[in-house]
Amino acid sequence: MRFFRTLVTSLPRRAPPARRGHPIHRAITITMPSVAATTTATSIAAQIADNPVKIAHKCLHLPGRTMSSDVNGCGHCPVVPIISDPDRRRIQVLQDTAFSFFTETLHRYGVEELIFCFNGGKDCTVLLDLLMSYLRQECISSQEIPMLYIKSGDSFPEIDDFVASCIRNYRVRLVEYDGSLKEALTHMQEDMPKIKAVFVGSRNTDPYCQNLAPMQPTDSDWPPMMRLNPLLEWTYHDVWHYIHINSVPYCSLYDRGYTSIGNRSNTVPNPHLRRTTAADSCGCSGVCNSIPATTSQPSTTTGSYRPAWELADPKQERAGRLPRK
């Protein structure tokens, strides 16, 4: 099974993927190659050198308007970092790998057996955009795979507003529960017994996710379900590169220095993104490209914060999470 497809401007319509019960269901073994390992064996540049990546700027303020890839912004959207061609190619490879994973998932499961977990964070936002893009490509309604959202009495209003906007913009079907993820899955299985697998936005740098497989059953003390992890090989900066390349809307908290968002009681802006007096000297409040990226050392200067994508050391992604009391 090839995980990397040749980029072309148009593709012939393919036959729909085999559904559960088809002989292919029992024959497929899922293997998600490590992008790092793939780069060593066959460089990403070599894979796609003959097929340059073409990415348009999708304006968030002027519906329907797109701009060519050599335009960095439309004059209305927020200023974003300039992303190198190698990084753009890497993101295209990661996207193609995710699409191949979705295809293999649909060989094993019918759409009525799938759901995806969403919490409004950056990783789940990328998962949502990837999955909805894939469904459009395959002519499958966005209503077919519902969104599982777990309500919290301590959530940020910005997260609640963003989740509501995603439901409207992507036209997804919402399934909502209170409590923990474990409790939500238990109630969901009682209400929706056909669901057999759940997409989640875990990366292998997340806590307790270092040894996850792309397809992995839940632990024995959890509701029995297949956990689908298409983003395991994505890095912190891969996530932000994808968001900026594709102009994907995201929660506004990330513009204010939050890098990993939980609840209001356990989340603060990342101290490694605190602005210094020197960084603010240009007078633009940090929206111009003249300000260098922050160092990995937190500043003691009181002030505002840089956006999440300027975090220099991804190992500090959770530095804004407070320890549980």
Taking 50 as the threshold, does the pLDDT of residue 13 lie above it?
no
- Measured between alpha carbons, how far is 179 from 159 in angstroms, rounded to an integer? 17
* Model pLDDT, residue 301: 39
Mean local confidence (pLDDT), 308-324 = 91
Taking 80 as the threshold, does the pLDDT of residue 292 lie above it?
no
Q: What is the pLDDT of residues 138-155, one digit of tens each?
A: 999 999 999 999 988 899
210 pLDDT band, cuts 50/70/90, is confident
Output the 3-class SS for 44-85: HHHHHCCCCCCCCEECCCCCCCEECCCCCCCCCCCCCCCCCH
Burial category of 211 from C-beta neighbours within 10 Å (exposed 0-12, middle 13-18, buried 19 and up): exposed
Mean pLDDT of the chain: 77
Mean local confidence (pLDDT), 126-136 = 98
- Measured between alpha carbons, how far is 135 from 145 in angstroms, rounded to an integer? 9
* Model pLDDT, residue 199: 98
- Measured between alpha carbons, how far is 43 from 133 in angstroms, rounded to an integer? 26
Mean local confidence (pLDDT), 178-183 = 91
141: its two tokens = 């309604």
Percent of the chain at pLDDT > 90 equals 59
Domains of the chain: 57-68+78-228 (3.40.50.620), 262-325 (no CATH)
Report which of 55, 58, 49, 50 is spatially closest to residue 86, judged by C-alpha positions.
49
Taking 60 as the threshold, does the pLDDT of residue 103 lie above it?
yes
* Model pLDDT, residue 233: 94
- At CA 44, angle to CA 43 and CA 50, rounded to 5? 105
Asked if residue 35 lies in contact with residue 93, where contact means CB atoms within 8 angstroms, the answer is: yes
* Model pLDDT, residue 276: 81
Mean local confidence (pLDDT), 95-106 = 98
221 pLDDT band, cuts 50/70/90, is very high
Taking 90 as the threshold, does the pLDDT of residue 33 lie above it?
no
* Model pLDDT, residue 325: 59
Q: What is the number of other CB atoms lying within 10 angstroms of the CB of residue 227?
A: 19
- Measured between alpha carbons, how far is 144 from 239 in angstroms, rounded to an integer? 25
* Model pLDDT, residue 207: 82
* Model pLDDT, residue 152: 87
Pick the range with the lowest mean pLDDT from 79-83, 164-168, 235-239: 79-83
For 58, list phi and psi in degrees, rounded to 5: -95, 110
Q: What is the pLDDT of residues 42-58, one digit of tens each?
A: 333 344 344 433 333 44
Mean local confidence (pLDDT), 161-169 = 96
* Model pLDDT, residue 303: 60
Pick the range with the lowest mean pLDDT from 36-50, 183-197, 264-278: 36-50
**Max mean pLDDT range (16-20, 51-55, 263-267):** 263-267
* Model pLDDT, residue 44: 37
* Model pLDDT, residue 81: 81
